[in-house]
């Protein structure tokens, strides 16, 4: 006797079953499936069926599902009832029926190949097969052995002639909650009913998904039970959703265009902003939020701030901009609400507002570089979608391509290619974090559970994604555009006035964007350097914000030196040319300043003096304060250094009238050091 089998990868990979199939290439095939709800998985099933021109009849639409689910005790009887009823209307004895699940199934080849394989099977009914026996393990010994392939029947897909299927279901009178799997298993293990009616068939095929273990190419791919994650992965590509030749073929399907809409016609979005830990560049986060290209009168803000450290940042933002938005709800640290509850409250703000169409969740450590992010996500028109966010120089992103056996991170085969932009498109993934957009309709229906983030074993973010997956909602990630990045919050100090100044190591890209002059890149590429006098080089290096923060940080520290020759801060205790200053090491900024010199000053000295290389080591780095009634000027002197840099932190014409600098070959240069510019004066280097 022949045996049919699903093809599965080892370690609980997706069940890929070759329904080796039917009678005549010209035979009449009808696909029956049950779908009481139109889920993302069902839409994927229909898309693949349409791609290969299958004839589909959907049973059970509009009914309440009572057949259980794969996480619950056995069920599925409702499918048998619906199938039995549908078969009564089919009178053609030569009609071939494929009955298959829809939420976790993808067609990977067409009906012609399916019918051909059924004919080769030479049996009236062929079932898929799987590795595990369920729901009654006591029946294992009654199953016939097979030479290769999987031994146990799987009720998720079978194919046969209509009269034979009718006969197989003739005795069914069970409840909707009873097990379809057990019913078909008992038929199969009954020798009298099995002969020439139900067989398990395993054979090599030629289809689009290859099973490495058996070297097979199945016609239909079924991700049964917990293996649904693997079907989601394969469904990113099959049938022809993404190829190396065409790229993404569905990225422009079913879009929701916002072009040409009046501001009042834009969908209302609740943006949930979550501050759960001390985070750098929070001020910049709110600046980027303001810059989103979306009508603010169609945006409502839900702000959850657990950190008292960030209260001034939130307060300043709302003081100046709250009135621009349609509405704002703030939960501060004084209310004592935990992060999990806050996210549920944020969801409710959208659920309970009939006008809300989307909830846009953004953690404060997200850097929204792309001002069109919200528009792009809405136009992609997915129930749940996230923009891919990365950490510079790392393979870290805000999504996981796969899960390990214990539900934690695992790397999918395509993860690196997606992160590095070698594969660009829409990707159905098992986990996202930090930022995502959800349709309000999904929150009001599939995800109406008030405890989406709660679990006895999983972290809140993992619990949330698990519940989204279990509800059949696909979580898509898009990397079609560059959207931004996620900050590192490790080692973030909160004991300074402007703590972001210390982020040059942890978040160098964000630090540079915040504190390095926009024209600095021209210095190295285009020679954007002035020479106001021989051997003195003048170029932009700091932003206005950098100058302001350095001044305010020093004033906040406040321990200015006395300006005398006696100085216990330096070796020997004597300062030959005293100033009223604060050393960088007094404020814990010595390492950061050295990093700045290495990355932004040393390359310029090496450009101007080819063959000269420096590690930018220094004995003293300090900020000097000059006041007319304190120390108005510095007497001429000679620095014992290879080169000296001077940066005017305050502004000519506002804070002072004339900037004087004495170089080694000139007496005076008025208005030399404008704010933000560094003046490099070489001293005793031997060239």
Mean of the pLDDT values across residues 404-418?
Answer: 90
The full DSSP string for 186-223 is HHHH-HHHHTTT-EEE------SS-BTTTTB--SEEE-
Q: Which of 106-115, 277-286, 526-535, 573-582 has the lowest mean pLDDT?
A: 526-535
> What domains sit in the chain, N to C, each tagged with a CATH number?
3-240 (3.90.550.10), 265-486 (3.90.550.10), 499-682 (no CATH)
To the nearest whole percent, how much of the chain has pLDDT over 90?
51
| Least confident piece of the model among 138-147, 283-292, 661-670 | 661-670
Q: What is the pLDDT of residue 588?
A: 96
pLDDT, position 9? 28
Distance from C-alpha of 499 to C-alpha of 281, rounded to nearest angstrom: 9
Cα–Cα distance for residue pair 269/290, rounded to 1 Å: 14
Tell me the per-residue pLDDT of 430-471, one tens digit each, with 9 for 90 and over: 999 999 999 999 999 999 998 899 988 899 999 999 999 999
CA distance 250 to 253: 5
Reduced to 3 states (helix: H, G, I; strand: E, B; else coil), residue 513 is helix
Can you tell me whether residue 665 is helix, strand or coil?
A: coil
Residues 295-305, buried b or exposed e (16+ Cβ, 10 A)? bbebbbbbbbb
pLDDT (mean) for 393-399 = 96
> What per-residue confidence (pLDDT) applies to 203?
32
For the residues 406-419, what does the mean pLDDT come to?
A: 91
The predicted model scores a pTM of: 0.84
The mean predicted confidence, pLDDT, of the chain is 83
Per-residue confidence (pLDDT) for residue 464, from 0 to 100: 96
Cα separation of the two ends of the chain = 90
Tell me the per-residue pLDDT of 309-364, one tens digit each, with 9 for 90 and over. Answer: 999 999 999 999 999 999 999 999 999 999 999 999 999 999 999 999 999 999 99
Task: Look at strands 29-34 and 56-59 and give their pairing.
Answer: parallel
pLDDT classification of 75: cutoffs 50, 70, 90: low
Helices (H), 291-398: 311-321, 339-351, 373-380
Alpha-carbon span 146 to 117, nearest angstrom: 19
Pairing of strands 3-4, 199-201: parallel
More confident residue, 576 or 59: 59
Interhelix angle 77-87/180-189, rounded to 10 degrees, is 70
> What letters, b where the CB count within 10 A reaches 16 and e where it falls short, cover 477-487?
bbbbeebbbbb
Identify the top-confidence range among 13-27, 36-50, 152-166. 36-50
Q: Considering only CA atoms, which of 655, 644, 656, 637 is closest in space to residue 682?
A: 644
In sequence order, the β-bridge partners of residue 7 are 16
User: Does residue 249 or residue 68 have the better pLDDT?
Assistant: 249
CA dist., res. 670 & res. 632, Å (int): 15
**Pairing of the two strands 242-243 and 247-248:** antiparallel
Instruction: Give the integer Cα–Cα distance in Å for 539 and 139.
Output: 82
- Which of 452, 446, 297 lies closest to 361, judged by CA? 452
Alpha-carbon separation of residue 256 from 248, 377, 480, 483, 575 (angstroms): 18, 10, 16, 19, 69
């Amino acid at each position: 006797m022949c045996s049919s089998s699903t093809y599965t990868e080892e370690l609980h990979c997706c069940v890929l079953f070759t329904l080796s199939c039917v009678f005549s290439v010209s035979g009449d095939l009808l696909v029956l499936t049950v779908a009481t709800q139109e889920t993302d998985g069902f839409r994927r099933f229909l898309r693949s069926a349409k791609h290969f021109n299958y004839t589909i009849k959907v049973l059970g639409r509009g009914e309440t599902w009572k057949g259980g689910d794969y996480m619950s005790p056995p069920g599925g009887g409702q499918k048998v009832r619906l199938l039995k009823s549908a078969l009564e209307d089919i009178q053609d004895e030569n009609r071939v029926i494929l009955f298959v699940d829809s939420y976790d199934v993808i067609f990977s080849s067409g009906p012609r190949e399916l019918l051909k394989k059924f004919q080769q099977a030479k049996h009236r009914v062929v079932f898929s097969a799987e590795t595990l026996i369920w729901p009654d393990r006591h029946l294992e010994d009654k199953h016939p052995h097979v030479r290769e392939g999987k031994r146990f029947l799987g009720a998720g897909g079978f194919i046969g002639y209509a009269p034979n299927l009718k006969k197989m279901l003739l005795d069914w009178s069970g409840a909707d909650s009873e097990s379809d799997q057990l019913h078909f298993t008992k038929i199969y293990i009954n020798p009298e009913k099995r002969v020439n009616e139900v067989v398990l068939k395993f054979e090599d095929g030629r289809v689009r998904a290859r099973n490495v273990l058996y070297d097979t190419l199945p016609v239909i791919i079924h991700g049964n039970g917990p293996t649904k994650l693997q079907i989601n992965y394969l469904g990113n590509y099959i049938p022809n959703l993404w190829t190396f030749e065409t790229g993404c073929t569905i990225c422009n399907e079913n879009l929701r265009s916002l072009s040409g809409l009046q501001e009042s016609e834009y969908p209302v979005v609740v943006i949930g902003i979550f501050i759960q830990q001390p985070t750098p560049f929070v001020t910049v986060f709110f600046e980027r939020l303001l810059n989103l290209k979306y009508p603010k009168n169609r945006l409502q803000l839900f702000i959850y701030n657990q950190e008292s450290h960030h209260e001034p940042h939130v307060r300043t933002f709302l003081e100046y901009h709250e009135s621009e938005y349609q509405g704002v709800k703030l939960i501060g640290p004084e209310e004592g609400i935990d992060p999990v509850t806050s996210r549920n409250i944020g969801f409710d703000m959208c659920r309970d507002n009939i006008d809300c169409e989307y909830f846009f969740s953004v953690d404060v450590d997200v850097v929204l570089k792309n001002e069109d992010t919200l528009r792009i996500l809405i136009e992609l028109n997915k129930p749940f979608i996230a923009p891919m966010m990365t950490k510079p120089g790392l393979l870290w992103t805000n999504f996981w391509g796969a899960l390990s056996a214990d539900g934690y991170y695992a790397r999918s085969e395509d993860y690196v290619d997606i992160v590095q932009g070698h594969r660009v498109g829409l990707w159905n993934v098992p986990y996202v974090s930090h930022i995502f957009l959800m349709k309000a309709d999904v929150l009001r229906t599939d995800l109406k559970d008030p405890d989406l983030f709660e679990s006895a074993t999983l972290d809140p973010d993992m619990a949330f994604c698990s519940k989204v997956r279990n509800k059949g909602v696909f979580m898509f990630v898009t990397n079609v555009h560059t959207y931004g990045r996620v900050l590192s919050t490790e080692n973030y100090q909160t004991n300074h006035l402007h703590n972001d100044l210390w982020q040059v190591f942890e978040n160098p890209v964000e630090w540079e964007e915040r504190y390095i002059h926009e024209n600095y890149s021209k210095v190295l590429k285009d020679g954007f350097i002035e020479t106001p006098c021989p051997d003195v080089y003048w170029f932009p290096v700091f932003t206005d914000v950098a100058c302001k923060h350095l001044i305010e940080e020093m004033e906040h520290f406040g321990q200015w030196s006395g300006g005398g020759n006696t100085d216990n801060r330096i070796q020997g205790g004597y300062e030959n040319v005293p100033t009223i200053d604060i050393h960088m090491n007094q404020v814990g900024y010595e390492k950061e300043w050295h990093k700045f010199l290495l990355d932004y000053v040393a390359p310029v000295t090496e450009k101007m003096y080819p063959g000269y290389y420096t590690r930018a080591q220094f004995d003293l780095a300090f900020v000097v304060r000059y006041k007319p009634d304190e120390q108005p000027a510095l007497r001429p002197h000679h620095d014992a250094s290879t080169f000296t840099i001077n940066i005017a932190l305050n502004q000519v014409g506002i804070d002072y009238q004339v900037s004087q600098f004495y170089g080694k070959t000139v007496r005076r240069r008025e208005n030399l050091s404008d704010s933000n510019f560094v003046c490099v004066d070489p001293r005793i280097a031997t060239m």
